[in-house]
Amino acid sequence: MSRALYPGTFDPMHNGHVDIAQRAASIFDEVIIGVYDAPPKKLLFNTDERVALVRTALGHLKNCSIVSFEGLTVECARTVDAQVIVRGLRNVADFEFESQIGLANRQMAPNIELCCLLSSTTYIYLSSTIVKEVAGLDGDISAWVHPTIAQAVQKRFAENSASAAAAGNNRKSVTKTRGKLTHRG
């Protein structure tokens, strides 16, 4: 039986992620979505929330399950007994990043293969950061995420604005830094 791990931050899961998960689910017998517990990024949703939103977005995929993890991706792959790590590629920057991390992962875990799926052209520009930036500026994100996720994102921004206003700071901001050998690759 083939089993693949699709790891990521998924803050939140968007339709580009769903497309990769669906295509992986048609290639492998089982796909496990690994929601990274503590990425070096400022997050909109905590781990349990991100897991719940992934479950909402992928409920239609019967051979998909979800775990959260911290530490090395290859350790998570070993723990869930996945032979393959799946990642999505949108552009050259993704390729450069994934090839570096993928080679480091191969050094650590030679039996675990990397499978990069090219983004569908419909979603090539899409990222969780774009979703959050647009939602944070009251833009419409309904074409990019599951309706329940759109509601959750809008609600979280409303809550954040209310607490920022209460604290005397009405600025909405999203910051991001990139992870390395932990959850990427």
Q: Kindly state the smallest distance separating residue 175's Cβ from ligand ADP, in Å.
A: 14
- Tell me how long the chain is: 185
Can 41 be counted among the known catalytic residues? yes
Question: d(Cα 39, Cα 178) in Å, to the nearest integer?
Answer: 8
Residue 39 found at the interface with ligand ADP (CB under 6 A): yes
Q: Which of 83, 99, 127, 160 binds ligand ADP (CB under 6 A)?
A: 127
Interface with ligand ADP includes 12 (CB under 6 A)?
no
Phi, psi of 127 (to 5 degrees): -145, 160
The token duo for 153 is 């994102």
- Tell which positions 53-112 bind ligand ADP, by CB under 6 A: 87-88, 90, 94
Cα–Cα separations (whole angstroms), residue 159 to 68, 170, 184: 25, 12, 29
Residues that bind ligand ADP (CB under 6 A): 8-10, 16-17, 20, 39, 87-88, 90, 94, 119, 123, 126-128, 179, 183-184
